[in-house]
Structure 1
Amino acid sequence: MSDMTNKRLGDGWEGVLPPFYKKQDIIFLSADCVGPVETSQMHDNLSINWCFGDKDIEVLDSSKGIIVEGSPSVSGPSFSSRLCKRALYSYFQQVALMGGHSYLEELPTYHSVKVEASMYQTVKDLVKQHFLVHQAGPWNSKKLVDCFSA
């Protein structure tokens, strides 16, 4: 999976991308199964995530994208996952305020902030073109899921 994902974009990005952007390889790690051999339907939709530096795991109902009662970690807004777009947007807003970019807080939606980011849009267009040139398929746009506010 790592090879397939990383090879779609290929190499040679150093001279193409603007400063502060770089192609970052994604690494997937697999491990032995640590769960019970037999599962119950009650646990079919549970998902666990943890990132280096996190104090504890986050347990979600993956069918709803919300943290389950009793999860050791509850940090996303409105019991949503700390890894969902809404949570990442919330973190971005905090960093933007610390960096003196308070005008971003006035924009109504996550999508409007992404549109405002001209460098991001330039790099995204480069990636879209690269996908097409290397026959990796078109970029799938999901504008409807980006129309939320913090």
Structure 2
Amino acid sequence: MASDKPKPRVGDLIEIFRTFYRHWAIYVGDGYVVHLFPQSDIMSPMTDKAIVKKELLSVVAGRDKYWVNNKHDGKYPPLPGNKIVQRAEELVGEKMPYSLICRNCEHFVNELRYGVARSDQVTYAFVAAVVTSLVLVVTIGISGFIGIMLGS
């Protein structure tokens, strides 16, 4: 992490920039984070179980960039840092249901910090899929209309 970026404080959300997605963790102090880790390949839609791990942030992030991103603090009041850490550490070692759509690592950390499970990655992907579908339907409709008009 660059020195000009804020150092994490207990209870902070940590966004880790992977190649095709963002991984999320919660900072619990002394260089450690708690995060939800799928028990098979993260990109596999067949993954349905995950384990809650406590690991060094440097290990979880590896060579990937990361930053503190408490992006919903303006919308939801965060729980006190010590309460977030307590809740997170009580879950370490637990196996939990996992779903890319409704129970991923971003849902997990937002639930710990705000008491609200949400994933903007899922929301943005859903909106993109809807927009793409609408564009495709309109394009097919226009193509069909032009074909009818030229065929007349």
Structure with higher Rg: it is: 2
- If each structure's strand is expressed as a fraction of its own residues, which one has the higher value? 2
TM-score with structure 2 setting the length: 0.21
* Greater relative CO (CA pairs within 8 A, separation 6+): 2
TM-score with structure 1 setting the length: 0.21
